[in-house]
Structures are given as structure tokens and as C-alpha cells.
Structure 1
Amino acid sequence: MLLLQGVTYTHPDRTLLFSGIDLVIHRYDKAAVIGNNGAGKSTLLQLMAGRLLPAAGVIKADATPYYIPQLAEWYNNQTVAEALQVHQKLHALQQILEGDVSEVHLTQLNDDWTVEERCKEALSYWGLDHVVLNQPMAALSGGQRTKVLLAGILIHEPEIVLLDEPTNHLDAHSRQLLYNYIQEARQTIVVVSHDKALLNMLPVIYELSRKGITVYGGNYDFYAAQKELEKNALQWEVKSAEKALRKAKEVEREAIERQQKLDARGKRKQEKEGLPTIAMNTFRNNAEKSTARMKDVHEEKTGALAENLQQLRKELPVADTMKLAFAYSGVHRGKLLVTAREVNMQFGGRYLWKQPLHIEIRSGERIAVKGQNGSGKTTLLRLLLGQLTPTSGTIERTEMKTVYIDQDYSLIQPGLTVYAQAQTYNDSGLQEHEIKSRLSRFLFTKEDWDKPGSALSGGERMRLLLCIMTISSRPPDIIILDEPTNNLDIQNIDILTAAMEAYEGTLIVVSHDAWFTKQINAGISLVLQ
């Protein structure tokens, strides 16, 4: 069991991240923790793992959790055995087999005579037969490092497993292995993930937000349905608040107009009766005070209504407040854009693909490029972009505008401010206020306009890139996406999904996220082997 009572965490600079977190995860429970970037999901998992200490509150676990971080790069300075926490046992076993049966080595091994065999079996399960235990973790790819750490679950058989974005670098086959484990495991499992296929396998969703922890007793589809009901109710509240504010302003205007008419009528009457100047001044002052009091009363009421409306609007889902408008490039649907004939690449004297590729890409198509890690997906994208020349075969391209979006959104320049990035793409002569208006639509306020690209999160870089594509006078004919959801939270994945759904040009996507490729209607599959 995992128990959190009144847990508060503050960053080293004393900035409060969250407070008063109460959470009970029982034995054999399988749960997900979701929330927007910056909510503190990874921090909460590290607190559960004992990697961080809370500023206040109590955390208890009835077993030592096995924790897999989002950044497997943490282990780059270790060997595979060290990352798996078996190096001391393996060393002791080796010394014993060589004849050194000292008490130190026997104690270290603790009768775990099958540890080396279990390590090999676990690595083999994850397709890592070629990986040796004394190999540096830094020599492995991101997906391989993640699979090494996942192999540790089979080796140690922990009672509590904590997984932080475990599918980020896994190909489709490895993801399926993880899904199988999640479904069959008899362990307590807590997962932080944006992978909706994985989230749908977990019967409880914990949403972490500025309000604290909210529990949803169902999988992700159930959570999404509940959030949709909440959103609809909130939208109704917003409309009601807008109506109430309009009515209050109308009442205010009518009341002031009536008072002004009464004051004017009274003034004419007084003038007609020929009252002294001092009396007329007194009358005028009283009328002005009366009007001012009335305005204060109404302004207080409308101000409260406006503040309430502003607060309600802040609670609306981000995607609902954005304006995603992508113009069509004008290339007629079905036009042949790219033709690849008998294309292959040779590395180290070996061809990358078993059979040469023959590919035709036509305007308006949505293509999902699939294949296991190492099958050459990114190489194919670079060939299509003209960044590589094929070893054999030919590639013909028509004149077209192509935008390549990788998982790090590298088109965003780290040294340029948000506003300067947008201005770089302003080839249609938009005025400064028009550019800033576009930025505001994509949730960049005036506090963000001077922020450098290096300070932006993955989601912010994605939104800025979408924004500048709408600023350019010529929209892209082809958008190529290379694992675009890896570093995004669910909120920003939804924004990207909505944008790609609205885009009418040609779309080529490499992604192991089956939910994302389905949502953007990537109906044509190109499988590399």
C-alpha cells in the first residue's frame, strides 16, 4: 500500500508546487496519475519512490517501490548491471564461482544463484538478447534504455511499480509487451503517462491539478466522458454569466439614462421657477452625487459579474479557447507530390530495407509510417525531405512547401523570443498588433512575448509552431510529424490533434501512439521492414 497524507512539495527556490495531497493506493491497485505539464506528476512519483522528500506531510509504503523515471538518461554513466541494481550480486557470484567463498560474497549474493540467468531471460523478453550486463547504458538508444529498466521488473519482482512515461521511446511491439504486463501483473502499479491506450488499461485515474488530487473511478475513456460533462456544465455557466453581465450592463445604462432625464427635468423646473444660483448649485451637486452613487452600485455589481466570468473562462479547457485555423495550400487533391522508385540506403555495406521502396505521395493523403525501432523511419523522412540522397533508386518531388516537425520542435530557435519567432514567419506584412493577437490566440500573453525559445516547454514550442504556421502567407503543402507527442502532456496532445484534424494538406506521421494516428485519420500505412 502507498499512503500520502497532507503532502506538500516546494522547489529548492521555495516555490510551492502542490500542497495537502492525500492519496491511498491499496495493494494490487493499478492507477494512473495525469495532469498538465508543470502540475508535478513526475515529482509526485519521485516522492512515492523516496527519491525526493516532501516539505510537509507523510508518505508510507509497505514495500520498496521499483521506480522507472521518464529520463532513462539518468543512468548513462552506469552499466546495464548497475542500472538494474544487480552488479554487486553478479560480482559476488563471479567471485564465488572462481573459488572465493568469503562471508562477504555469500552475504552479498544472499542465495540468489539464478540472478544472472534471470537477467538474461528478462533482457531477452524485451528483445535485448544482444545487450550484455557490463555494457554502458550510454551506448544504448532511448528505447533500449527504457526496456533495460523494464526488464528489472521481471528480475526483482517488486510489490510496487512506479512508471513515469514508460512508452515514450518504445516502438509498437515493445508497447504491446508493456500493455500485456500491465494487464497481467499482480503488483501495485502507478503510472504517469499520456498514452491513452495505456491509460485505458488502468481502472483508476488520479488527476493532479492546482486544486489537488481528483479521483475518477474508471479508465481514461470514463475520465474523458466525465470531463466532457464537466466542460459542458462549465460552458453553460460561462454562457449564463455572459448573459447576466450583459443584462446588468443594460440595467445600469437604463438606470443612468433615467436618472439623467430626471435630473434634466428637475433642472429645467428649477430654472423656470427662478431659484437663486446657490440653490441651483446645491441641486446640481445633489444630482451629481445621486448619479455617482447609482453608478458605484451598478459598477460594483457588474464588476463582480465580470470577475466571476473571467474566472469561469480560465477554467475552460485550453483547446476550447484557441483558434486553430489552417488555410489550404491550394494544391488540388490527388496531385502527385513525391515519387520514390526502387529506393534503398546502405550503411556499413548492408542495405537498410529488405526490399527497395516504391512510394507515391499524393496531395491530401494522410500516411502513417510504421516499423520497429531501427527500421529506418527517420531515414525515410530525411530522404523525402531531400536531406539524404538514396544509395540506390530515385526520388522525384514537385515544387512544394514542406514543414518537418520533430519531437523536440526544433524549428523553434532557442535564441529568439516568442514575438521574434512569429515575426520571422510574417511574410504577409501583418502589423505588430495583429501578430500579438495571433500569439494571444495560442495562449501566449504579453508576459510571454519576450520569453526566449530556450525557456519554452515542449507544449509551448508546439503551440508556437502552430501559431507561426498560421502567420505565414503560404501554408505548408506537406506536414511531416516525427514522434510529435513524445514530450507533450494530454492537454497539448489534444491541441495538436485538433490542429492536424483541421489541416487540409498532406500529412505524413511517424508515431508509436496508435491513438494519435487514428485521431488524425492517418488511414494509409507504410510499414518498413
Structure 2
Amino acid sequence: MAAISLSRISWVTPDGHGVLTGLDLNFGQERTGLVGRNGIGKTTVLKLITGELKPMTGSVRVTGTLGQLKQVVKPGERETVADLFGVTGALALLRRAEAGTASVEELADADWTLAERITAALARVGLDAGPDTRLAELSGGQRTRASLAAAVFAAPDFLLLDEPTNNLDRSGHDAVVALLAGWRAGAIVVSHDRELLNQMDSIIELTSLGATRYGGNWTHFRERKATELEAAQQDVAHAERQAAEVRRKAQLAAERKDRRDTAGSRKAAQGGMPRILLGARKSNAEASRGAGAKLADRQRAEAQAALASARSRIEILQDLSVALTPTGLPANRTVLRLDGVTAGHDPDHPIIRDFSFTMEGPERVAIVGPNGSGKTTLLMLIAGGIAPIRGTMSVAVDFAMLDQRVGILDPAASILDNFKRINPGATDNACRAALARFLFRADAALQQVGTLSGGQMLRAGLACTLGGSRPPALLILDEPTNHLDIESVEAMEAGLRSYDGAILLVSHDETFMTNIGIERRLSLGPRGGGSA
């Protein structure tokens, strides 16, 4: 039977940073979601399974075949879908056979259904393409779909997927969800996509404490985590009571001992007790005091250890909660207005055509549409990155834009220095307090932005943008949840729920849009036309 086993795995980065320590994991013929914070080792686990990485200690055993999603970032000019599927030679043989130039020996190896099966695999992920389609002609989302089709083409025993729904429009996303919903072999899926994780049979969470398996899908996992958080909070309360009780008893014992020693000293001072007996009593008192002190120290250490253990579970289980300064944006205030706008990088081939749109007050609006419909172009237009070719546009309030690269931050500066630049006049204490609310405490605030993970960088962008004394009245977000772990997404949701300004958002993450309270959707068509 197909199975994957990781036994006592340890792995460190080339610079000596420990990622995995003594990890034991087993995967059978079920769909498993692998979740955890950025940097905890999820992608590392996949690379250890495929052999791309070798463990420092421990062993990896794979029984069965693997299919892996390969992210094609910059394909070669002549690279085709057939290259992605690894069947270029087999298709060339079929063409020689059709032309009558194949040898008898070659004809015996010909797979006459190959092209048809490739097309069917592509259709399964909602991609209208063929084996000869050049990858450079496909969008990033379409290439992701093609890569997924290639991964499932040979019907592997295990499908390994690392963030498969990133960069996909809604139809592509739904195709991936449908594929996983109907997948009956093994699958290991690293994802922050909660809709996709709801198709899983089990969830494995990686934390600093190790790996924990939960039966059921993402919704069931969250319910179990909520129960565990409640239990952990009760354990903390119990441990705090126990620690306080240990301190109280130790204090009482010390006071009783002092009273006895004082009484004994007074009696000895009155005379009538042999010197040898006085010495023995003094020695016994000192020995008793030492034994009592050791017992009290041990009890205090045990109580503190129990309290620290309970609190460590709280740190892992508790969600981020953020309180922000109000923007005071009134409900009837016009935030932005576009009238008959046509825009794009090429005036002869505009992406946005005759587009009109108005936002008022603290509205929360999502711009949706297929890849290539002009969503990001529209955001760039509103943010001032490009000018309209025709029509008029005005933004009537102060705003900030956070794209996937968080361009508002200087990568060469620290988080703290970025905060001070974006919020001039803020005191050092105010800066520190604001960053701490977004989990950048103490030395974490001094990290150079360029060294941060994607999730940390976006959280830093939110902290610097929204954590000041005067947050902008309009926040523009372009696919903010791409490449983030779920903890970072939920931290962002917590921050945006506390924000009382207007939000204009491009996203394909339905759960995220629901959780931040999107009120209106603006749908862009294939040619940049729109409707609310």
C-alpha cells in the first residue's frame, strides 16, 4: 500500500537555523492539509519527501509514486505544455508515425491516446489549451493550472501541492477545489486557502512544539483548536493559582520557622540549657531551614514550569487581536469617483474602457473578475501609478496602497524606521506600542524589511500604515493574502475588522472577503468593463 513516512527528521538551513527537530510524520491514502506559520517548515517537508532536500538526521521512506505541482515562473520562449508534462518525445513519435516515418520498433511504443489524455487533463483544471501551447503565452494563473494538470496526469499515488491556488482567478481556484474534492488517492497540500483545506480528510499543524494531526477538514480543525484554546486558558488559570498557592505556603512556612527560631533564641538567652544541647538545636534548625528552602525552591520551580508550559500553548493557539485609532470617516463623504475613465499602459489597447465608479463613506468594495480583466490596472490608476487616457478621476481622502510586494516599505530600513517615516512625529514609545500590537515586539521591530517573509512583510505594512495616530481613510489592497500563511491572513483579518475606514480590495479569497465584511462587489469583464 502507498505510504509516506518521516522518522525522527531534523533539518537546518545552510546558515545553521534549525527548522525541523525530531519530526515524525506518516501519510496514507487520504487528503492531508499541512498548515503552520511561515518559516515553520511546511515546504521543507515537501522537499524532503521528494528528495530535493536531505535530512540532517532521520529517514524518509516513500512507497508509491509522487506527482508534484511545479511553479513555472519564467518559461523558455519555446517551452510548451508538452514539456511540462514530460511527453515531448512521445508526441514527436506520434507525429513521425502519422507522417509514416516511424520505424516498426517505434510504432510498438506509440501511445495513440496521449494527446487526447493531455487535453482531458487540462480540461479537468479548466484550462482550454493543448500539448503544443507555449507556456509563455499563458498567464501566471493559467501556467499554474497547466502545472497542476501535469501533476495529476500520471495518476500518482500521492499529489504534493504547495500553495496551488495562488495567482488563480475565481474559475481557476474553483477548478482546483473541485479536483481535490474528487481526488481519491493520497494528497499533501500546503495552503492558506481555507476553502481548499475544507476538502481535506485531515489537517496536520506544524508548530514550535512539533506536529499534531487532526481528523477532519479545516472547519473541524478550527473547532478543535478553539476547544484546545479554552482548555489551555483554563490550564493557565489553574497553573497561576497553583503558583500563587506555592508562594503563599512557602511564605507561611518561612514565617512559622522564624517564629520558632526566635522563641528558641529567647529561651537559650534565659539560660538553663546545656551548651551541647544548644549547639545541637542550632544545627538541627539550620538543617531544617536548608531542607525547607530546597523544598520551597523545588515546588516554586515546578509551579513556574507548569505555568510556562500552559502559557506556551496559549501563544500558539491564540489569535491576534488589534485595536486601531479611528479614522472618523463619515458615512456621506465621497471617497473616490471615476467618470468615463479609459486607462492602460498602451493607449491603442486600453485595458479599462469607459469606466465609472463612486465610493462613499467607510464602504468595503471588492473588485472581482477573471485574470487579465484589469483589476490591478484599476488599482494602479486610483493610486496614481498611471494616468487615465480619457475621463476623470479623483480621490478625496488620504489613502495607502498595499500590493503583494508591500512597496510602501523601504526594504533596506528596519520596521521601526519605516514606521517613523510613514508616521512622522510619532514618539519612539508610540512606534514601539503600535508595532507590538502587530506582534513586532522588542528586537523584532528592528528587523530589516528586506529580510522578512511575505507574511511578516505584509503584517509590517499593515502595522506601519494603520498603526499610527492618524490611519488613512482609504486602504487599497491588491491580492493581500497571496503567499501568506493562515496565521498571517487571520492577523490581517483581525486588523482590518478593527479599521473604520474605506477598503478597496482585489482578491480571489472568498473567506477573507467575508471575514473583513466586504459589502459590495465590482465585477470587471474581459475588456475592463465593470458593473456593481
Structure 1 residues 333, 204: CA separation in 2 closer, same or farther (over 3 Å shift)? same
1:146 CA drift (Å): 0.4
**Other-structure match for 1:25:** 28
1:169 CA drift (Å): 1.2
**Other-structure match for 2:529:** none
Per-residue CA deviations over 1:87-141 (Å, capped at 9, x if unaligned) read: 221233333444431467547xx32123234434544565554677362x45643
1:253 CA drift (Å): 4.7
Per-residue CA deviations over 1:368-394 (Å, capped at 9, x if unaligned) read: 111111111111111221222222221
TM-score (norm 1): 0.85
SS in 1 for 2:73: helix
Q: Does 1:392 align with 2:390?
A: yes
Deviates further, 334-343 or 293-302: 293-302
Kept in 2: contact 1:75–1:83 (CA 8 A)? no
Question: Which amino acid in 2 is paired with 1:401?
Answer: D
1:7 CA drift (Å): 5.3
**Other-structure match for 1:115:** 114
Question: Which amino acid in 2 is paired with 1:352?
Answer: I
Q: Does 1:409 align with 2:437?
A: no
User: How do 1:337-352 and structure 2 match up within 5 A?
Assistant: 337-346=335-344, 347=346, 349-352=348-351
SS in 1 for 2:440: coil
Q: Does 1:491 align with 2:487?
A: yes
1:51 CA drift (Å): 3.6
Question: Which amino acid in 2 is paired with 1:413?
Answer: D
C-alpha distance in 1, partners of 2:470/2:400?
A: 11
SS in 1 for 2:176: helix
1:39 CA drift (Å): 2.6
User: How do 1:17-56 and structure 2 match up within 5 A?
Assistant: 17-26=20-29, 29-54=30-55, 55-56=57-58
Structure 1 residues 252, 117: CA separation in 2 closer, same or farther (over 3 Å shift)? same
C-alpha distance in 2, partners of 1:284/1:471?
A: 63
**Other-structure match for 2:418:** 421
C-alpha distance in 2, partners of 1:60/1:154?
A: 18
Kept in 2: contact 1:337–1:363 (CA 8 A)? yes
User: How do 1:110-259 and structure 2 match up within 5 A?
Assistant: 110-123=109-122, 126=125, 128-129=127-128, 133=132, 135=134, 137=135, 140-153=138-151, 155-253=153-251, 256=254
**Other-structure match for 2:444:** 448
SS in 2 for 1:487: coil
**Other-structure match for 2:530:** none
Deviates further, 309-318 or 501-510: 309-318
**Other-structure match for 1:505:** 501
Matched positions, count:
516
C-alpha distance in 2, partners of 1:139/1:499?
A: 39
Q: Which blocks of at least 5 consecutive residues in structure 2 are unaligned? A: 526-532
Kept in 2: contact 1:482–1:511 (CA 8 A)? yes
Deviates further, 287-296 or 327-336: 287-296
Question: Which amino acid in 1 is paired with 2:394?
Answer: E
**Other-structure match for 2:472:** 476
Question: Which amino acid in 2 is paired with 1:406?
Answer: D
Question: Which amino acid in 1 is paired with 2:24?
Answer: I
C-alpha distance in 2, partners of 1:468/1:288?
A: 59
Kept in 1: contact 2:368–2:521 (CA 8 A)? yes
Kept in 2: contact 1:407–1:486 (CA 8 A)? yes
C-alpha distance in 2, partners of 1:403/1:53?
A: 44
Question: Which amino acid in 1 is paired with 2:25?
Answer: D
1:181 CA drift (Å): 1.7
Kept in 1: contact 2:68–2:151 (CA 8 A)? no
C-alpha distance in 1, partners of 2:163/2:326?
A: 35
CA RMSD of aligned residues (A): 3.5
C-alpha distance in 2, partners of 1:514/1:210?
A: 29
Q: Does 1:10 align with 2:8?
A: no
Kept in 2: contact 1:7–1:58 (CA 8 A)? no
Structure 1 residues 153, 16: CA separation in 2 closer, same or farther (over 3 Å shift)? closer
Structure 1 residues 426, 390: CA separation in 2 closer, same or farther (over 3 Å shift)? closer
Question: Which amino acid in 2 is paired with 1:496?
Answer: M
**Other-structure match for 1:72:** 72
1:510 CA drift (Å): 1.2
**Other-structure match for 1:358:** 356
Structure 1 residues 441, 255: CA separation in 2 closer, same or farther (over 3 Å shift)? farther
Structure 1 residues 503, 12: CA separation in 2 closer, same or farther (over 3 Å shift)? closer
Kept in 2: contact 1:30–1:203 (CA 8 A)? yes
**Other-structure match for 1:61:** 63
**Other-structure match for 1:327:** 325
Matched-pair identity in %: 30
Kept in 2: contact 1:182–1:201 (CA 8 A)? yes
Question: Which amino acid in 2 is paired with 1:494?
Answer: E
Question: Which amino acid in 1 is paired with 2:175?
Answer: L
SS in 2 for 1:57: strand
Kept in 2: contact 1:343–1:390 (CA 8 A)? yes
Per-residue CA deviations over 1:343-390 (Å, capped at 9, x if unaligned) read: 22254623424x632211122111111111111111111122122222
C-alpha distance in 1, partners of 2:410/2:376?
A: 21
C-alpha distance in 1, partners of 2:424/2:269?
A: 65
SS in 1 for 2:222: helix
Kept in 1: contact 2:351–2:377 (CA 8 A)? no
Structure 1 residues 360, 270: CA separation in 2 closer, same or farther (over 3 Å shift)? farther
1:239 CA drift (Å): 1.5
Kept in 1: contact 2:23–2:211 (CA 8 A)? no
1:288 CA drift (Å): 9.6
Structure 1 residues 404, 268: CA separation in 2 closer, same or farther (over 3 Å shift)? farther
Question: Which amino acid in 2 is paired with 1:23?
Answer: N
